[in-house]
Amino acid sequence: MNSARAEFLERIRNATSSMPPAMREPLPPIDDMIVRRLQAPIRTPHESEGPSAEGLRNAAALEAPVHGTDLVQIFCRRAADAGMTPSVVKRADLGAHVATILRNAGARQVICEPQLADSPWNLPKSAGDSFAWLDPNAGDDSLYAADAGMTAVHAAVAESGSIVCTSGAGLWRSLSLIPPLHIAIVEEYQIRADLVDLFQTPPADAPPAQLVIISGPSKTADIDGILITGLHGPRAVHVCIVTD
């Protein structure tokens, strides 16, 4: 076992050393301006979440500098382009809004993490009694019986119209994956400008076992180039952005 590792590394070491150090490509610095497509907004000091304030820069090639509320609009546009169904809703109306989505989709059984009940959204209670709320801890049968899965998110990205979900204590990867409909609840402050802002501050803790950037419903175009959704993952993703 150990010798396999040692021999393997030795072979690679010999291969790389065939080129003299002077000729090797140095590590290129990552120029933020080249990678970014969307500027991060200027944040006032009391806003703790989101990317650090970067200041406006002269960037003809990039989109116009954005401020707080623009991110929501950009996110909605890009998410819709990617095939998701974004919506903006006031906090007080969230429950009714979720109920409407579920009713329109004909979803009766909804699965969500138990701790969602402790969130400021008052879900699932605020959505009403006409739905059966399943507990994923009850096992596979619940998971596969659910018509819809409802989750919070770790973050959202305006530039690509993506939502980001992570694994973690008591969090289920399967809820945004197995039920045919996924409802994601996003707080406005969770929307980052660009993918670059997602990983900007390395987390103090170890990274989660799984972080997934979701940019649409499950898609395939393998059959004659025809775009079909919902092959393995959800066929519809509703993103509800909560504002005050």
Partner 1 sequence: MSESAHDFRQAAAAGLANQPMRAAILRTTSRKIEARAIALQQLGRADELRQLASRIKQHTLDHLDQYLVQFIDRAEASGATLHFAATADDARRIVGQIAATRAARVCVKAKSMTTEEIHLNESLIAAGVRVVETDLGEFIVQLDNDRPSHIVTPIIHKDRKTIARIIARELGVEYTEDAEQLVAHARTYLREVFRTCDLGISGVNFAIAETGGICLCTNEGNGRLTSTRPRVHVAVMGVEKLIPRVADLLVFLKLLARSSTGQHMTVYTTLIHGPKQPADADGPKELHIVLLDAGRSSILAGEHRSVLRCIRCGACLNACPVYRQIGGHAYGGVYPGPIGKLLGPLLSENERFAELPRASSLCGLCREVCPVDIDIPGRLVALRREQVERHARGWQQCGAFRLAGWMLRAAWSYRLMQRAARLLLGSRGWSTDAPPPLHGVAKHRDIRTPAQKPFRQVWNEVLQDE
Residues between 193 and 212 with contacts to partner 1, criterion CB under 8 A: 195-196, 198-199, 202, 206-212
Burial of 43 (0-12, 13-18, 19+ CB in 10 A): middle
Judging by beta carbons within 10 Å of its beta carbon (0-12, 13-18, 19+), is residue 142 exposed, middle or buried?
middle
| Interface residue with partner 1, options 98, 172, 185, 241 (CB under 8 A) | 172
Nearest alpha carbon to residue 239 among 191, 192, 172: 191
Does 221 engage in binding with partner 1 (CB under 8 A)? yes
Is 56 among the residues that bind partner 1 (CB under 8 A)?
Answer: no
Q: Which one of the spans 45-53, 89-97, 146-154, 166-174 is the region binding partner 1 (CB under 8 A)?
A: 166-174
Tell me the closest approach of the beta carbon of residue 48 to partner 1, in angstroms: 22
Distances (CA, A) of 71 to 11, 157, 190, 240: 49, 9, 10, 14
**Spatial separation of the C-alpha atoms in residues 229 and 221, rounded to whole Å:** 9
Q: Which is nearer to partner 1, 6 or 92 (CB)?
A: 6
Among 39, 151, 162, 190, binds partner 1 (CB under 8 A): 162
* 151 contributes a contact to partner 1 by CB under 8 A: no
Restricted to residues 12-51, the positions that interact with partner 1 (CB under 8 A) are 12-19, 24-28, 30-31, 33-35, 37
Q: Which is nearer to partner 1, 45 or 225 (CB)?
A: 225
Q: In whole angstroms, what is the distance from residue 217 CA to residue 233 CA?
A: 7
What gap in Å lies between CA 164 and CA 212, rounded to an integer? 6
Residue 33 has which token pair? 């301006």
Window 177-196: residues binding partner 1 (CB under 8 A): 177, 195-196
- Stretch of 69-77, 87-95, 102-110, 133-141 contacting partner 1, by CB under 8 A: 133-141
Sites for partner 1 among residues 103-122 (CB under 8 A): 113
Binding range to partner 1, per CB under 8 A, among 64-72, 91-99, 146-154, 229-237: 229-237
Please give the backbone phi and psi of residue 194, each rounded to the nearest 5 degrees, phi first.
-135, 160
Structure tokens at 13: 């070491």
Q: What is the DSSP letter of 117?
A: G
Least CB distance from residue 236 to partner 1, whole Å?
13
